Amino acid sequence: MAGKLKINADYARISSDKSGAGVGAESQHIENEEFGEEIGFPIEARYTDNDRSAKARPDGTFAPRPDYERLIEDIYAGTVGVIIIWHANRLHRNVEEVTRFIKLALEYKVRLFSVKRGGEYMLTRASGRADLLRDTVTAQEESEHRGERVVLARKRQARTGAYGGGVRPYGWGVDTGRTRRVCLNPKDSPETREYRDVPVLDMSQHNTEEAEEIRRWKTDLLAGISTRQVLADLAARGVLTVAQKDERTLRRDGLEVKHKGWGSRTIQQIVTNPRTAGHSVYQGEIVKRNAYPPIITEDERQALITMFADPTRKTSPGNTPKWLGSLIYRCGSCKKAERRNPDGSPVTETVRKNSYGTHIYQCRDKGHCLHPAEGVDAYVERVMIARLSREDIAGLLPQRISVDVTALREELTLLDIQEKEIGLSLARKKISLTLAEVAQAEIDKRRTEINAEIKDGTAEHPLQEFVTSDDAESTWKQLTLGRKREIIRLLVTITLLPAGKGNRPPVHERVKIVPNR
């Protein structure tokens, strides 16, 4: 290393540069250069990490600092003799990292100066090394305290109902007329970052269109419509997610990825989120109840939570029906021959295309009893609208049962605790296997009863909207396919009769509709 010419360098870093202009780092360079001239070590090379944090991540690793790493490489190469920094916390914010730096500086005889200190850290002396460590520790403590203050401030914001930032929750946000500048790709390098002015939203108010969408999901789900059917309806109507509507760029591992649209998990998260019921949340915890106007009621939210957690609820994937009568209309030929499915249920029909490309209903089992799908569905819809237009529609609604959803859910929690205690007692041989099985059976029975009580007390009846409607046809047309199918299941049994050969009778003579009791 002897005889090799070494340079005087300065290092500047700023943790957060929202403007992307690098002004903070440039100010440090200017002061470093002035200080270097004063002490006789004019700066010959700059090292800059703009908008780069030196703080350790939760897993103990550090965020990449390209120019700091280049500086370390140049020290190893023996090309750096003097480093000037504005303050110790610009170079390091972690004791472990600064300890490694001290060892490296001593090995390669690198001198370190600080503008704020007004002189050199004499790293060859114990006192100089202690000073650098002390200044770094102080900076680390200040950073941790600042982080704690930020957490407390965010939690205080949540308690007061103020929005703490982050991705806009679906269902919330009203344009205030103001704008703010945001970075579209904050994890990219500073020179490639893009910025855009976006509207400032009042996050305490409902986005009217999205809030109505959430209520629509709630109504359908509590009426027994499957999540898959809700997703199919969203796709058919072209409803956009928050990311799609707000034109957010999604990235994974630094690469841009396509928006996948709605998923069942997203739907569940939105309708069961405490904020949807008007509560303020911080890190998953409700910190203030009734902080905002609710989109759905707390009882409805709790009922949805119970419904999604019900182990008897069918969640296995499968084809989502795209026609009104798929898997509902019964095959008249199989009924006449008294053929049934292995589970005892009647054989139903699905829709396929015939050799002419026309959609037809046909028996799932034998492939017979063919009927034009569009014509059958149109006829069934006319019959259903006529039935729903009658004045006695209110008589079809059951008497609503009053339930305490909160109390029932608390009882479910107690049952979970009891179930764990039974398992522990069995493992410790405090109870016999027979006694454990009896106790488990009682818990399962009560859990089923509670889920049924919650469902009966909070379920949205499919016919509810028709009781107050003056135009049954218009109301019917606004329903989702899933809601229409549930109404058909509830009110009637439809059988498609064999059409025979030759001149086939009109559709209304081939469709048998019998009211359910």
300-319: pLDDT as tens digits? 888 888 888 776 665 554 56
Number of alpha carbons in the 13 Å side-chain half-sphere of residue 272: 17
Region of 90 please: left (phi>0), alpha (psi -120 to 50) or beta: alpha
Predicted pLDDT of residue 294: 93
* Token digits of residue 516: 């359910």
Number of residues written out for the chain: 517
Q: CA–CA separation, 496 vs 84, rounded Å? A: 88
Q: What is residue 404's predicted lDDT score, i.e. its pLDDT?
A: 76
Separation of alpha carbons 123 and 130, rounded Å: 9
What would the pLDDT profile of 393-403 be if each residue is shown by its tens digit? 777 766 666 67
Instruction: Of 287, 50, 273, give the one whose Cα is nearest residue 167.
Output: 273
What is the C-alpha separation between 348 and 6, in angstroms, rounded? 86
| Cross-sheet strand order for the sheet of 371-372 | 349-353, 359-363, 371-372
Q: Are 232 and 322 in contact (CB under 8 A)?
A: yes
Say what the pLDDT of residue 19 is.
40
The one-letter amino acid code at 89 reads N
Tell me the residue type at 42: P
| pLDDT exceeds 90 at position 342 | no
Whether 18 shows a pLDDT value over 60: the answer reads no
State the amino acid at position 134 in one-letter form.
Answer: R
Calculate the alpha carbon distances from 174 to 204, 268, 274 in Å.
8, 23, 20
Collect all residues with Cβ–Cβ distance below 8 Å to 367 and sequence separation of at least 6: none
Give the pLDDT confidence of 491-516 residue by residue, as tens digits. 899 999 887 666 778 888 889 999 88
**CB contact burial 328-357 (16+ within 10 A = b; e otherwise):** bbbbbbbbeeeeeeeeeeebbbbbeeeeee
Q: Nearest Cα to 290, choosing from 280, 303, 300? A: 280
CB atoms within 10 A of CB 51: 21
**What pLDDT, on the 0 to 100 scale, is given for residue 340?**
77
Between CA 300 and CA 307, with CA 301 as vertex, the angle to 5 degrees is 90
Q: What is the pLDDT of residue 378?
A: 93
Strands 359-363 and 330-331: unpaired
Q: Which residues contact 46 (CB under 8 A, 6 or more apart)?
A: 9, 10, 12, 29
User: Strands, DSSP E only, in 111-226?
Assistant: 111-114, 119-121, 172-183, 195-206
For 80-108, give one letter per residue: b (16+ CB within 10 A) or e: bbbbbbbebbbbbbbeebbeebbeebeeb
* Cβ–Cβ < 8 Å for 111, 120: yes
Whether pLDDT at 58 is above 60:
no
What pTM was estimated for this model as a whole? 0.53
> What is the rounded end-to-end Cα distance, in angstroms, of the chain?
97
pLDDT at residue number 259: 74
Task: Copy the structure tokens of residue 320.
Answer: 């989502």
Element (H, E) at 495: strand 492-496
Task: Determine the Cα–Cα distance for residues 182 and 194; give it in Å rounded to an integer.
Answer: 9
pLDDT: which is higher, 62 or 178:
178
The pLDDT tens digits of the residues spanning 445-484 come to: 888 888 777 776 666 677 777 877 888 899 898 888 888 8
Predicted pLDDT of residue 398: 63
* 238-252 average pLDDT score: 78
User: Residue 150 pLDDT > 60, yes or no?
Assistant: no
pLDDT of residue 517: 78
Alpha-carbon span 372 to 209, nearest angstrom: 37
Tokens of 223: 């009426």
In this predicted model, what pLDDT tens digit does every residue of 99-142 receive, in sequence order? Answer: 999 999 999 999 999 998 889 999 999 999 999 988 887 766 66
* Residues facing residue 8 across a β-bridge: 82
